[in-house]
Amino acid sequence: MALCSSVSLFPLLFSLLLLFSASSSANHDSVSFSFPLRSLPLSTEKPLKTNPKLRSLSSASYNVKWSFKYSMALVVSLPIGTPPQHQQMVLDTGSQLSWIQCHNKTPPTASFDPSLSSSFYVIPCTHPLCKPRVPDFTLPTTCDQNRLCHYSYFYADGTFAEGNLVREKLTFSPSQTTPPLTLGCATESRDASGILGMNLGRLSFPSQAKITKFSYCVPTRKTGPGNVPTGSFYIGNNPNSARFRYVNMLTFSQSQRMPNLDPLAYTVPMQGIRIGGKRLNINPSVFRPDASGSGQTMIDSGSEFTFLVDQAYDRVREEVVRVVGPRLKKGYVYGGVADMCFDDSARETIGRLLGDVVLEFEKGVEIVVPKERVLADVGGGVHCVGIGRSERLGAASNIIGNIHQQNMWMEFDLANHRVGFGEADCSRS
């Protein structure tokens, strides 16, 4: 998810340009209600009341399988509060802070009602969480007129979310719950869904819930009318992991302060790209961060498209032009970032001529995008190669979006600092 703030433009946490409209259009089998955020009595250091029979979530001893809906974003419905209220949240490995909707809007959305939860707690300005530490200063906060901790997130597509920081639980069953987590309770947002922040930051969902492993499987996207495809999301061990292939994540210490680096992202050692069996002439160094952090390659479930730095994007475009150049839609640029687009009538021909697209990693690990899925339907009778130019986002990183994660298990093994890949039919996983 592409995040900007008035305090710091980096690190950027990337997202698809149309995330908010996409997740708004997803269909969910839930009744929608809307409630205002109500002021609750504050006790700055008083612990939340808890049920001693509840045990906290730990991936070392407990596994949860959840499902999500996939259109352009991965939208999961999670049980928040005590008793739980199901909230739609975008599963986003490129974001840190998780937040839910807490506003009263028309038409109504499935907003969270704090007054109905016995475990809800508003964080005051005096709390240490309202004074983010440097260098992990990724959550700009202020003190509002009620002396509550206020946060503001601004995203690359011009949308925003702001509200109060709170503490709340996820209740997966009557006997299984997470510890109290710091969340955003958004009172202003143009999105119908919240965000489940899954990156390496100290305020992310895995960090706060002490989760050491999670995985998800993105189904193939449907372009026509009908049911939205459903994928799977595991917290803890995945029974399919015996056949996964792993690459080690690149990690960075707090002392490595590079202006173009996101140290909280899932950075992987990408090495090259093949199109139709041809390995493109791209120096592998463009996929790794240089002294400034440019060239970092990250996995971002919150981004629809894959984005490449100019050195890589230019080679991809040259090959596309060489093979199918005359069929390109002249002068068309999707979202200001993707200019390898075609009219719908040429879709099947383009895929057949280009062949499979393969993203290469170390140890022979690959993401294979079959020729049938090389083009993405962007509406209006237009299909585009699902790759954009990242520097048109104002960034200098390579981002592997969810469009190139379809029919793949993506496992994030935090304890062992590695990412697993496993081909699958995600509609059946």
As annotated, the active-site residues are: 92, 300
249 and 241 Cβ atoms separated by less than 8 Å:
no
- 3-class SS string, 239-261: CCHHHCEEEECECCCCCCCCCCC
273 and 282 Cβ atoms separated by less than 8 Å:
yes
Q: Which residues pair with 141 in a beta bridge?
A: 151
| Coil, helix or strand at residue 416 | coil
Write the DSSP assignment of 107-131 as a string of letters.
S------GGG-TT-EEPBTTSGGGS
- DSSP one-letter code for 227: P
- DSSP one-letter code for 179: P
163 and 184 Cβ atoms separated by less than 8 Å:
yes
Pairing type for strands 375-379 and 382-385 reads antiparallel
Specify the residue for token string 């969810």.
402
Instruction: Calculate the CA 324 to chain-centre distance.
Output: 32
- What are the tokens at 288? 């790794």
Q: Widest CA span of the chain, in angstroms? A: 68
323 and 244 Cβ atoms separated by less than 8 Å:
no
C-alpha radius of gyration, the chain, whole number: 21
What is the C-alpha separation between 33 and 35, in angstroms, rounded?
A: 7
- DSSP one-letter code for 48: P
- What are the tokens at 145? 């007129």
